[in-house]
Amino acid sequence: MKTILVYFLCSLLTIAGFAQTSIYVRNSTWQDFEIEAAQFGTFNMSNSEWAVADPVVRGWIESTGQEVLTVNRTNSAVPEGDTAFFDIGLNGATNTLTIKLRVIGIAGGTTLDFTIDGAGFSIPFFNDGLFHEVQTTLAGKDVVLKFKADNDDSNMDRNIRFAIHDLPVYQIEEEDYQDPNVLNVMYYNVQMITFGISGMAQASDRGALLPAQISAHQDVVAFSEAFDDGPREDDLTPAMTAAGFPYRTTILNAPGLIPIPTNGGVIIFSRWPIEAEDEIDFAECGQAAQDCLANKGVKYAKINKMGKRYHVFGTHMDAGSGADDTYARRTQMAEIRDFIADLEIPENEAVIFGGDFNTDPIDSDNDYQAFLDTMNPIIPQHIGYFESNFNDDFGKIIDHAWGDRTHLVPLSITNEIITIRSLDPILWDISEFSDHRCILGRYVYPDIEKLGGDTLICPGENLSLSVNTNHPVTYQWIKDGTELTGETDANLEFSSALESQTGNYSCLVSYDVIYGNWTDSITPLFYLDGPDTVEARLNFDFGEVVIDDFLCHVGIQETGAKYWSIQPNPAQGILTITFPNKHEQALINLYSAKGNLVRTAQIISGSQLDISSLDAGIYIAELRLQEESFHQRLVVY
């Protein structure tokens, strides 16, 4: 009796597990596929021997794939000598793909062949363990279909996995890349955790293969959780360089000789020159989520795209829901705000900050509202996916790319949440590059440029100061802190200038942008009180305009001026001064446009004078030699 029971249990296990095939579909596209399966052939299988699992294969859900069909592989399902065919229809918005199976009954079980068909292509059946691939078009977009058996078929339990993959996953228009007023910034938590504490495997493989997935027109990429030095330095960084990102910051808060806590995991890559970088270490960390194992903080990069400066900040705030984690996050919000303020970035330049905030609008901890109260950011329009880290909760968006309303206000910001996956055989089993989805921030700014300023003119001369822009704005010109009545045009004209017009000039440029007025399902989560009008008030400082009759005259005869020289002009760094009587010393004095003496030195003809410490502006250079003197206006830039 015992022997019979054991045999019976083994038979059940064979039917339920070992002699069963499952078909999985990994849908890496922006459309869902409805499943419709049909069985036909020389033998009609019983409905109890096969079943449709998931009736809909959703886009970007499962990295391992959704199970769409299971079929029994024993002779009770398909007797020896019979053949059963399956057509598994994947019905999309405009196209249908058909996974085809052929199950042939043989002595002691069945064999399995598999393939996939679609409009415009048909490929033969396979029964090997190799990768097979075909490219086609679905819903007007290029896709790759790739499939492979997961295991051998010695136990008649071979599973087949099909991947439908957008090619490429995302695109950025070349026009964006060529426009200095548009910046595309990617924020991506790549989960490269050091010391094997936790997280995804194959960090080196992921680091080496990820950069090739990034658009050729992506301007900036800010990674977080790039803690592990080996994969970051040996794989990710060389691959990013090869992908066209020659500029990068150092890793955030690199440790000293003692590697614990480890670095802060944030590093910024750019296709455009990085002119400066800075960072802070957060003062607080949450013990409950083990965030004190890393020196988290904020990384800053000043990026020059075709002459326009962007100030990009990347961070990774504390995770966890414990009281100490919440306290740490609330503190970090203020630290981000104060760090940006301490850098004294000109208000007419763009400030962008983002990363893994571990803060979303649907949690009950009120962290999101606290962040809004602390930072007063510009919240973008959310497009793409509806959550950012594979939890399938609508609105669970913890990775962000925000704007700053106290600096140059963008005309639009979008945050597109995408999933970057790999079809490379090395990453076939895990597919994902991270446990987070990727955030694409697209920032569009008005083109505003000031012309003129910091100058010296003579009474009676003409001068024009102006602000040029392609965006509707209002203007108010200001002199020495007082608004000039009626001066509300783009230009401020000095016609037959008077000495009384000497002063410090600026122009207040104003425009408004409405955010949160989009008709989509995500927006109400981020804009609880409805649309937000962001008021841009930018002060363009034109510096000192000096109108002075005395400074406009030279102190020697015109016939003698040709023997005196101060070169180059405009200048930056080093001046070369020549004059008659080469063996005698002369005195050189440099005066600011306001008449203040800022530099004096004794020189001989041919000497060089270092002026690198002087601020940009207009200066008067005075040379004195015995009874003669020479004055020259000098522009320092």
Mean per-residue pLDDT, 111-131:
96
93-97, 482-486, 558-562, range with the lowest pLDDT = 558-562
103-107, 389-393, 451-455, range with the lowest pLDDT = 451-455
The reported pLDDT for the residue numbered 197 is 61
The reported pLDDT for the residue numbered 563 is 65
Give, rounded to a whole angstrom, the gap between the first and last alpha carbons of the chain: 99
Give dist(CA 342, CA 240) in Å, integer: 31
CB atoms within 10 A of CB 68: 22
The reported pLDDT for the residue numbered 606 is 86
CATH of the domain at 350: 3.60.10.10
Task: Provide, rounded to the nearest whole percent, the portion of the chain with pLDDT above 70.
Answer: 93
Residue 583 belongs to what domain range?
554-636
Same domain, 463 and 594: no
Q: Backbone phi, then psi, for 321, in 5-degree steps? A: -120, 10
Strand-pair category, 381-384 with 412-418: parallel
Q: How many domains does the chain have?
A: 4
Mean per-residue pLDDT, 580-600:
81
Same domain, 316 and 369: yes
Same domain, 542 and 592: no
Same domain, 321 and 240: yes
Give dist(CA 362, CA 154) in Å, integer: 49
* Burial of 361: CB neighbours in 10 Å, binned 0-12, 13-18, 19+: buried
Same domain, 346 and 392: yes
Q: Choose one of 519, 547, 575: the last residue of a domain.
A: 547
Same domain, 435 and 505: no
The reported pLDDT for the residue numbered 196 is 59
Same domain, 213 and 320: yes
Same domain, 371 and 466: no
The reported pLDDT for the residue numbered 100 is 98
Give dist(CA 504, CA 187) in Å, integer: 41
Q: Inform me whether the pLDDT recorded for 125 exceeds 90.
A: yes
Give 164-178 pLDDT, tens digit per residue.
999 999 999 999 999
Mean per-residue pLDDT, 543-558:
64
Residues in a beta bridge with 148: 161
Give dist(CA 222, CA 210) in Å, integer: 13
Same domain, 273 and 344: yes
Helices marked H in 41-118: none
Extract the tokens encoding 236: 């990710």
Same domain, 181 and 86: no
Give dist(CA 490, CA 524) in Å, integer: 38
Q: Choose one of 547, 567, 594: the last residue of a domain.
A: 547
DSSP state of 245: -
**pLDDT band for position 272 (cuts 50, 70, 90):** very high
Q: Inform me whether the pLDDT recorded for 566 exceeds 90.
A: no
**pLDDT band for position 9 (cuts 50, 70, 90):** very low
CATH of the domain at 456: 2.60.40.10
Give 446-482 pLDDT, tens digit per residue.
999 998 877 778 899 899 999 999 899 999 999 999 9
CATH of the domain at 561: 2.60.40.3080
Give dist(CA 68, CA 65) in Å, integer: 9
* Burial of 108: CB neighbours in 10 Å, binned 0-12, 13-18, 19+: exposed
Strand-pair category, 308-316 with 350-356: parallel
Give 429-449 pLDDT, tens digit per residue.
999 999 999 999 999 999 999
DSSP state of 100: E
CATH of the domain at 64: 2.60.270
Give dist(CA 482, CA 480) in Å, integer: 6
Give dist(CA 230, CA 212) in Å, integer: 19
Q: Is pLDDT larger for residue 260 or for residue 329?
A: 329
Same domain, 211 and 185: yes
Q: Choose one of 501, 524, 547: the last residue of a domain.
A: 547
Contacts of 150 (CB under 8 A, 6+ apart): 158, 159, 160, 161
Same domain, 533 and 582: no
